[in-house]
Amino acid sequence: MSRAYFVTGTDTGVGKTLVAAALLRAAAAQGLRALGMKPVAAGGDEDVEALIAASNVASPRELINPYPLREPLSPHLAARRDGITIDLEVIAHRCDALRGLADFLVVEGAGGFRVPLSATLDGADLAARLGLPLVLVVGLRLGCLNHALLTAEAIRARGLALAGWVACQVEPAMAGVAENIDTLRARLQAPPLGVVPFLDEPDPARVALQLELPS
């Protein structure tokens, strides 16, 4: 069975896709068959394309992205406007199919860990259904410590493993970056996998050199 991880974030826009694609490139550089999955993508296919570009295994797009949603909204709202109900069993079945094709699978969630997916389900339910260890992307900006600690607490409350975390600087002028990273190291109780500085032009290949793969 392949190694597989669920990448979640402290919020939307914190660098999840960049980190997910970088992990795939790092795995491919180690000779692994690497494949990305984005179960729910709302408002465009840029994230899906980034994961496909970083993968070195081909797969049908309907497996990689079961739910492409048209509008850039919370998935439960975008799905409602498209007349779609997101089904966790559909995602789980396609995730299993992808695991059969790869040595290293990265499943990127939508938004933050508890983002709503339907009237009753959210991203935590999806992570729990897949049962994969999680990689948490912490967007370095004011408030990130609270967001990171709450997210880690929510992950453990669902009985899931936090395999590691990546700090991704999203505010170029953030004060106290080193001190915030030190606080995360002391309090997250999970291995740090790398720190991504603010980049004017994010490049997964470059970021891959700065990350460790989760074990």
Residues taking part in catalysis:
38
Burial of 50 (0-12, 13-18, 19+ CB in 10 A): buried
In 3D, which of 158, 139, 133, 160 has the Cα closest to residue 214?
A: 133
Name the packing angle between helices 123-130 and 88-99 (round to 10°).
40
- H-only helix segments in the chain: 16-29, 46-54, 61-64, 75-81, 88-99, 123-130, 144-157, 177-187, 204-208
